Structure 1
Amino acid sequence: MKVSDTGEFGFIDAIKTNTLFDESTVVKGIGDDCAIYRAAIGYDQLITTDMMVAGIHFSSQTTTPFDVGYRLGAANISDIAAMGGIPRQAVVAVAMPKDTEVSYITSVFDGLKAICRTYAVNLIGGDTVTTTGPLTLTVTLIGEVPAGQALLRSGAQVGDIVIVTHHIGSSAAGLALLLAGITDEQFAVCKKAHQRPEPQVILGQWLRQQGATSLNDISDGLSSELNEIAKASKVNIEIDSTAIPIHKSAVQVAQQLGVNPLEWALYGGEDFQLVGTMPAALHSVIAKEESIHCIGRVVSGAGQVILRTADGETYPLEAKGYDHFK
């Protein structure tokens, strides 16, 4: 059955159930011209939006419809995590060709609901239209953070350490596997990192509470995110290539495909891990956390990122992550 058979309201009826996962913050969800939610006293409101277009952000070769929805949710939730915030409410806009299968789009919503359930994000409204172009999905997410405590890209200070969470490059490794048609289960970690990435909401809040000075989520690649912090903070950032955490599975994938795994870590993107800076005095605190790695330091400068290689050489690290218009 296609969406042209159900009509707009039939489609809405098919996806509007199981959308509230923290009803304490919702006055009115789906069903009126606007949704109504309660903003917490003493918190600043955060808002972000992400769009995914078929053929640009996903394809049937590498992503199931469930994973399309899951990844769309992850991208938005990760933005809130990068502010040290708490994700709360989401609205969804969908532009569908008339011949879109209802089973496909409901599976997309199943994936979106799954990650929203994990992070107690309510789906409280949206819009549906038809299009002569490709399937397009947009989520706008509202979050909150204690007033005045949001972590910005512009807060890095000379003397800070540079940190990153978990491992990076795994999503790019997973994409390479899927495109190559490699189904070996020993690489499941990388495939999962690409198809169902996990935004670092808890670590983002913990870093804020510990006194992080800046934070960014790794959506477009480590090199791009570091350059954004360096430029916004008007400092230079020096990182050690040997300290960048790359999962052993991604290293094995790279060996099999003849790729330098460091390229995936620096430029691959879509890991949705966090990179940021913290006062050097907190180095001992970070050293106790297996999920957080120190990869460099902040020095005086005018917005440049410097990479130190294993043999001691240094060179400027350009922002060569994903760019929609290049």
Structure 2
Amino acid sequence: MILVDRINAFVKLGEFLSQFSVDSIKKKANILHNDLFFEVYETQIKRAHETNGWFDVENVCFSLQSWSEALTEENLTEWTANYAFNNKSKSVAIIMAGNIPLVGFHDILSVLISGHKVVAKVSSNDKYIIPLVAKYLQYINPEFKELIEFTEGELKGFDAVIATGSDNTARYFDYYFGKHPNIIRKNRNSVAVLTGNESKEELEALGEDIFRYYGLGCRSVSKLFVPKDYNFDSFFKAIFKYSDVINYNKYQNNYDYNKAVYLMSLFKLQENGFLMLKEDANYGSPIATLFYEYYESINGLENKLENDTDKIQCVVSNSDIKNTVAFGQSQHPKLWDYADGIDTLAFLNNL
């Protein structure tokens, strides 16, 4: 299978996934293999939620919609244009996280688009949708049947590894897979830099960066950097549109628990009934909590962020800090926005 065939297959996958969006799940005409797969996807979306309460229908569909928007011929061609893929197919083991829906799909896409074979171990928290996506690819092009394997047992017969987990599991991965070519990802969090000059619309969009996937993604904003004497009133007013999040039981339970812990520990909090703000130097905040930290100058903050690159996935801001993401866009990465800043295609192409 040559590159153009692989690209065409993923374009057709994107067209199929376009039927599942946050606004609606609606069957379209002239979608390849729709009679076989559409109702199955509807069932598995519900099943994913039954198995993992954080995977509500809206968030699963948001992920499917995002992938449908990414998997266009233009995007895939632009993404792959700078790589001269060799014909030496290797087996690449992929160990996936399960914090948000389809979080491991970019690795599968990268391995397959590079012409390699996937040997995947999915997370028990996200075990329904990704195998179904792979099955659809195999119907589009039967050659994928020889290139995609899922296993629940011990990983064997692989030439390289891509593994995603926490800082603790990364040590485990490094111990077992360190002798192989590898990408091993650790904990990362995303931050937002506010200057006090943001518009209401920008702060509302920031709410999407904070609350999408209930804050469980590495691209979810978990911390704010704000100037001295920053007034949080405008921020709280702008994000009120997301107040319904507190009606989701799992989120509310975390809110209540973390609030009780903070109050018993006599921590100073600012809160609005569905989100707590706590001044803290760390990056990874608990669910329903947003850490914040004051800064003296943008230049000084930029130096800090540069020094903490290994802890940060992306920076959301409208300031002059380099490599920032616009408000509301942290959960819409491009195909070439690699996790941890590691060029996955370059790694795969050099195997």
Q: TM > 0.5 between the two?
A: no
Please state which structure has a larger fraction of its residues in strand.
1
Q: Using CA pairs below 8 Å that are at least 6 residues apart, which structure has the higher relative contact order?
A: 1
